[in-house]
Amino acid sequence: MRGSIAMHMSDGLLDVPASLLFGAVAVAGVAVAVVFARRDLDDRTAPMAGLVAAFVFATQMLNFPVLPGVSGHLLGGALAAILVGPWAGALCVSIVLVLQALLFADGGLTALGANITNMALLGTAAGYLIAVALRPFAVRSRAGLVTVAFTAAFVNTVVAALGFVGEYAIGGHGSVPLGGVAAAMVGVHCLIGIGEGVLTALTVGAVASARPDLVYLLRGGRETRPRSPIGARRQEGAA
């Protein structure tokens, strides 16, 4: 979020031990994601992961207002996880965060590990777990799918904000008390989560309408043929 509160941590917000700790967590998490993403991606789905990363990168540059002087942007963890799986999704968001830090100074380099931890790892995992838990509703209809996508994205945003608060509690250098940080981050990101949910629902719904076989959640993980009524109806119409 850009404005009076920021999801991206800047240089100096965390002390050195905390920066090193979350840098190590980020490296370990990304390494695990690389190993498992190879299982989920093939010649057909790998290009989709690239498109998802590019889409998240582009949409993170676009802000939507949530309060006077405060704006938010898409985090993309739940969106990426629903479309390409949790492991590839975490990699997509991590790549976006690295590029933003290097090219646009959006988030400090010393805080990159913390930003990857709360947005690419925690947020993506939370969004995916919610989507999987609600998958029986997602495969029933388009309305079910977009509702699940909205819910997963909302949770993704709030959990990422809580991750920020946790990191600040461990090694924060700011002058704002922890209670104030927590109230501001969670409160504002509940509003941002609504915008995140709408964008995620619209995007997932559009992809599912055109190519349900490319939606990881609808495939039930590694299965390649759509098992949902959404995919079945589209195949019947093409026959």
pLDDT in tens, 148-205: 999 999 999 999 999 989 998 998 876 778 888 888 888 888 888 998 999 999 999 9
pLDDT in tens, 47-58: 999 999 999 998
Domain count, the chain: 1
CATH number of the domain encompassing residue 126: 1.10.1760.20
- Domain of 112 in residue numbering reads as 9-238
pLDDT in tens, 61-73: 777 665 555 556 7
Domain assignment of residue 211, yes or no: yes
Q: What are the backbone angles phi and psi of residue 109, rounded to the nearest 5°?
A: -65, -35
Domain assignment of residue 4, yes or no: no
Domain assignment of residue 228, yes or no: yes
Q: How far apart are CA 52 and CA 76, in angstroms?
A: 9
| Confidence (pLDDT) at 153 | 96
Q: What is the mean pLDDT of the chain?
A: 84
Buried b (16+ CB within 10 A) or exposed e, 147-166: bbbbbbbbbbbbbbbbbbbb
pLDDT in tens, 111-143: 899 999 999 999 999 999 999 999 999 999 999
C-alpha distances out from residue 215 to 59, 124, 138, 149, 165, Å: 19, 16, 11, 11, 32
Q: How far apart are CA 117 and CA 104, in angstroms?
A: 19
Residues composing the chain? 239
Residue in this structure with the two tokens 């370990």, named with its chain if needed: 28
Domain assignment of residue 3, yes or no: no
| Confidence (pLDDT) at 140 | 92
Domain assignment of residue 2, yes or no: no
**Residue 2 reports pLDDT greater than 80:** no
